[in-house]
Amino acid sequence: MRNPFDALLGLFSLDIGIDLGTANTLVYVRGRGIVINEPSWVAVDRKNPRIVLAIGAEAKEMVGKTPSHIVAIRPLRDGVISEFDITQAMLKYFIKRAHQEIFIPVPRPRVVIGIPSGVTEVEKRAVREAALEAGAREAHLIEEPMAAAIGAGLPVTEAQGSMIVDIGGGTTEVGVFALGGIVVSRSMRIAGDELDDDIVQYARQKYNLAISERMAERVKINIGSAYPLPEEQVMSMRGRNLISGLPEQVEISSIEIREALSRSVNIITDMVRDTLDETPPELVADLMETGICLAGGGGQLKGLAERISEEMHIRAWVAQDALTCVARGAGKVLENFEAMRQTLANDDRQNPGGSAS
């Protein structure tokens, strides 16, 4: 039975769901929807990394254009928290800002944070502590694939099995769900960033062209694919010729980019296959009906759904609003907190108050 005071507080507090992604951080406020959507970047002083100069879009803008004493960091780049203090600073900043967006003074929020499933217990504690320090009254964690599945509208709490493939910047996470739990899951550090890197390497090897990560990402989003396109495309790619040292522009086709991406795409599809191999047959039978849902920015790679459908003999599709699934999923958990509590990460159940210990 819930404490009646808590119940009353719940009515007034605007609870917050956070997708702490390797590439983007999104904040969902109960009753409002997504109020913050910014890159997970932090700019710090090179000589004194404790000095945070900018967070989010402003920090990302600084990349490659800043005086050399400023470095921009992605503290969650590999799906692990490589920079503890910086992650904490970023999280606190976003929670405080979400609280300010609401304008009216409200009680301290309950916070549900989606974290990559690769993070360790120590890192989980750090995330939770940061949320509490930022003013949360309760901080709960949810595994990203679970949050993504909920956000995508999959029936995770039902007996029928369902599956998500969430491809972010730093990590790809695959999960099979039934009865509110994760039955099988896999996490791997090959995702959107790796695809960008494949394009950088390809440009270098084939054209002696040095291109930026940003240019590579643009090429990937515009003409990258995992399956032949109905109409193949071309795009110009700008960089610096490694031999002459001069700026150069090269026309590149979607066929070439598909070749550049093929190794990483194969690793991702193998991961889906391995997960299916591990899934109990009864649930595989369910998946033949419910299908495989792709989420995250990388899930939108052209032709990936077709490719997975063809290889796995199971219908695959891209979730609506694939980039916001985790944040909306965390939001849905907040909206039906008691009923969906079972979907929170394990250690929450052992520590129901959600307080840091």
Instruction: Return residues touching ligand ADP (CB under 6 A).
Output: 21-24, 168-170, 192-193, 217, 220-221, 224, 296-298, 300-301, 323
Which residues contact residue 139 at a Cβ distance below 8 angstroms, ignoring those fewer than 6 apart?
111, 113, 127, 128, 129, 131, 132, 354, 355, 356
Report, in Å, the least distance between residue 352 CB and ligand ADP. 27
C-alpha to C-alpha distance for 23 and 330, rounded to whole angstroms: 17
Report, in Å, the least distance between residue 222 CB and ligand ADP. 8
- Per the structure block, which two tokens stand in for 107? 């009680």
Could you say which of Mg ion, ligand ADP, none residue 221 binds, taking C-beta under 5 to 8 angstroms by partner kind? ligand ADP
DSSP string, 58-121: HHHHHTTTS-TTEEEE-TTTTSS-S-HHHHHHHHHHHHHHHHHHT-S--PPPEEEEEE-TT--H
* C-alpha distances in Å from residue 160, one per residue of 120, 154, 281, 316, 350: 30, 10, 12, 17, 26
Report, in Å, the least distance between residue 331 CB and Mg ion. 14
Could you say which of ligand ADP, Mg ion, none residue 192 binds, taking C-beta under 5 to 8 angstroms by partner kind? ligand ADP
Report, in Å, the least distance between residue 39 CB and ligand ADP. 8
Residues 287-316 that bind Mg ion (CB under 5 A): 296
Could you say which of Mg ion, ligand ADP, none residue 217 binds, taking C-beta under 5 to 8 angstroms by partner kind? ligand ADP
User: Nearer Cβ to ligand ADP, position 209 or 294?
Assistant: 294
Report, in Å, the least distance between residue 244 CB and ligand ADP. 29
Residues 151-190 that bind Mg ion (CB under 5 A): 168
C-alpha to C-alpha distance for 287 and 224, rounded to whole angstroms: 28
Could you say which of ligand ADP, Mg ion, none residue 291 binds, taking C-beta under 5 to 8 angstroms by partner kind? none
Check: CB of residue 111 under 8 Å from CB of residue 18: yes
Give the residue carrying structure tokens 């649930």: 283
Could you say which of Mg ion, ligand ADP, none residue 301 binds, taking C-beta under 5 to 8 angstroms by partner kind? ligand ADP
Question: By the criterion CB under 5 A, which residues form the site for Mg ion?
Answer: 21, 168, 296
